[in-house]
């Protein structure tokens, strides 16, 4: 397998956004899952689950922040 390095500019970023916006929701999820599986196959010591984060926030604190 040949390795390839491509240097891009911010102009290419817009083309990427357009490319992914044209894909269906399912196609985007499949691409994410493919990348996850590739990452996990290369990094055996990383847990294969998402980290869950939960924070309890006081509603009054949110109101004072937004003002």
In this prediction, residue 34 carries a pLDDT of 92
In the chain, DSSP assigns E strands to: none
To the question of pTM greater than 0.75 for the whole model, the response is no
In this prediction, residue 30 carries a pLDDT of 93
For Cα atoms 13, 6, 30, give the angle at the middle one, nearest 5 degrees: 60
In this prediction, residue 61 carries a pLDDT of 64
Structure tokens at 10: 């911010």
Q: Which residues, given as ranges, of the chain have pLDDT below 70?
A: 50-51, 61-67
């Amino acid at each position: 397998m040949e390795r390839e390095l491509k240097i891009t500019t911010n102009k290419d970023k817009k083309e990427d956004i357009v490319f992914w916006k044209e894909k269906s929701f399912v196609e985007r999820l499949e691409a994410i899952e493919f990348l996850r599986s590739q990452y996990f196959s290369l990094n055996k010591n990383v847990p294969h689950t998402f980290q869950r984060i939960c924070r309890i926030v006081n509603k009054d604190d949110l109101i004072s922040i937004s003002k």
